[in-house]
Amino acid sequence: MRRNLVRVLDGETLSPPPIWLMRQAGRYLPEYLETRAHAGSFLQLCYNPELATEVTLQPIRRFGFDAAILFSDILVIPDALKRNVRFNEGHGPVMDPIDEDSIKALDAENVFAHLSPVLQTVEKLRTKLPAPTALLGFCGAPWTVATYMVAGRATPDQAPARLFAYRYPKAFEHLLLLLADVSAEYLVAQLDAGADAVQIFDSWAGVLGEPEFEAYAVKPVARMIEFIRSRRPSAKIIAFPKGAGCLLKDYRRKTGAHAIGLDWTVPLDLACELQKDGPIQGNLDPMRLAAGGNTLDEGVDAILQRLGNGPLIFNLGHGIIPQVAPENVRRLIDRVRNRPES
């Protein structure tokens, strides 16, 4: 069966378009909160195949999305690289900050033994998902993962990583290349375990200037995609460089991604231009989903009117926030699938 999301990634235009939402499994759902409490900690949830499968399936059961995305986190890679990743309630992820010497000492030998439970989750999901539902795997892009590794936490403008890259360019390049190679192998393993497609999240691409975007965001992702295609030529890959703005114009050509994920700041005129070269994904403002009502409807309609005549995967421009009411998600899906004729 060629699932609808895969058909769009192959360049088809479907009406209505397939829909899934970033962070569709998460804190806005009461059933997630129950499972999360049972797991003990966030990372324990990510590494528990039974519970991670359950959490991934929850929004599929409730809403019938066209795709499920593996429940995990982009920071399982630095965790597998022994950077002591912790998730502190109310403060986000933290880890041991990396320095020049620590980068040289990184050892990727046992990464996949550490990540084995995540791959087991993918295998379980493939057997449990409804036949028409696509399964997405994912990882963080090297630049975004590196920002957390250098600072040891999230920062507003990723100044620690940017400064480190200027001061220690060779060490930073080594870190990006190592992350690119490990992450590419990780995505191949997810595809082999049953994922229909994979997404690369570059959540902090938007803080980079043009030359840095080329060096830190484009080249490592291009390296990843080249590796994945060398192993799995038919692999379907979505890349999401959040905040990249006008730098998106050449991103697909330079990286080789099938589809480009767009955040909510991307003008629909630019989205239309990008769609001429292939599928796009996005890009409803998550705050419209939180607001609901006519605000939500108007945002959905604008995207479908401008982008619905080309290959489109409907999504948010970033993840669902915890304050979203589940009934707003139902309203969104109904609007996408049953939009009134204008």
- Mean pLDDT score of the chain, rounded to an integer? 96
| Measured CA angle at 151 (ends 204, 182), to 5 deg | 65
Q: How far apart are CA 43 and CA 40, in angstroms?
A: 9
Between 2 and 134, where is the model more confident? 134
Question: pLDDT band at 45, cuts 50/70/90?
Answer: very high
Q: How far apart are CA 29 and CA 248, in angstroms?
A: 33
**Are residues 112 and 189 in contact, defined by beta-carbon separation less than 8 angstroms?**
yes
Residue among 64, 7, 23 at smallest CA distance from 334: 64
**Out of 88-92, 207-211, 279-283, 293-297, least confident range:** 88-92
Rounded to an integer, the average pLDDT of 80-93 is 88
Q: 254-265: string of b/e by CB count within 10 Å (b at 16+)?
A: bbbbbbbbbbbe
| pLDDT at residue number 167 | 98
| pLDDT at residue number 89 | 74
Residue 168 appears among annotated catalytic residues: no
Kind of pairing between the strands at 92-94 and 86-88 = antiparallel
Residue 337 appears among annotated catalytic residues: no
Q: Which of 36, 162, 223, 335 is catalytic?
A: 36
Q: E-strand spans in 131-258?
A: 134-140, 197-202, 237-241
**Are residues 17 and 314 in contact, defined by beta-carbon separation less than 8 angstroms?**
yes
The dihedral built from the CA positions of residue 232, 196, 282 and 279, taken in this order, carries a sign that is positive
Look at residue 55 and tell me if it is in a domain. Answer: yes
Residue 335 appears among annotated catalytic residues: no
259-284 pLDDT per residue, tens: 999 999 999 999 999 999 999 999 99
Q: Which of 3, 23, 162, 288 is catalytic?
A: 23
> What percentage of the chain reaches a pLDDT higher than 70?
99
12-40 pLDDT per residue, tens: 999 999 999 999 999 999 999 999 999 98
Q: How far apart are CA 70 and CA 77, in angstroms?
A: 15
Question: pLDDT band at 201, cuts 50/70/90?
Answer: very high
Q: How far apart are CA 33 and CA 38, in angstroms?
A: 9
Rounded to an integer, the average pLDDT of 57-74 is 98
Instruction: For residue 141, count CB atoms less than 10 angstroms from its CB and return exposed for 0-12, middle for 13-18, buried for 19 or more.
Output: buried
Q: How far apart are CA 217 and CA 244, in angstroms?
A: 10
How many Å separate Cα 105 from the centre of its chain?
Answer: 28
| pLDDT at residue number 93 | 94
Rounded to an integer, the average pLDDT of 4-11 is 98
Instruction: State the CATH number of the domain containing residue 284.
Output: 3.20.20.210
| pLDDT at residue number 53 | 98
Q: E-strand spans in 108-250?
A: 134-140, 197-202, 237-241
Q: Using the predicted structure, report yes or no on whether residue 101 has a pLDDT greater than 80.
A: yes
| Measured CA angle at 254 (ends 248, 257), to 5 deg | 80
Question: pLDDT band at 341, cuts 50/70/90?
Answer: low
For 68, phi then psi, to 5°, come to -105, 145
116-145 pLDDT per residue, tens: 999 999 999 999 999 999 999 999 999 999
| pLDDT at residue number 333 | 98
**Out of 106-110, 117-121, 205-209, 216-220, least confident range:** 106-110
Question: pLDDT band at 88, cuts 50/70/90?
Answer: confident
Look at residue 145 and tell me if it is in a domain. Answer: yes
Q: What amino acid occupies position 4? A: N
Rounded to an integer, the average pLDDT of 83-90 is 87
Q: Which of 7, 27, 126, 306 is catalytic?
A: 27
Residue 86 appears among annotated catalytic residues: no
**Are residues 312 and 281 in contact, defined by beta-carbon separation less than 8 angstroms?**
yes
Look at residue 17 and tell me if it is in a domain. Answer: yes
| pLDDT at residue number 79 | 97
Give the CA count within 13 Å in the CB-facing half-sphere of 311.
20
Residue 27 appears among annotated catalytic residues: yes
Look at residue 342 and tell me if it is in a domain. Answer: no
The token pair that represents 338 in the structure block: 């049953």
Number of structural domains in the chain: 1
Q: Which of 148, 186, 216, 251 is catalytic?
A: 148
Q: Using the predicted structure, report yes or no on whether residue 146 has a pLDDT greater than 90.
A: yes
For 259, phi then psi, to 5°, come to -130, 150
The residue segments making up the domain with residue 274 are: 4-337
Count of other CB atoms within 10 angstroms of residue 71: 26
Note the residue count of the chain.
Answer: 342
Q: How far apart are CA 67 and CA 196, in angstroms?
A: 9
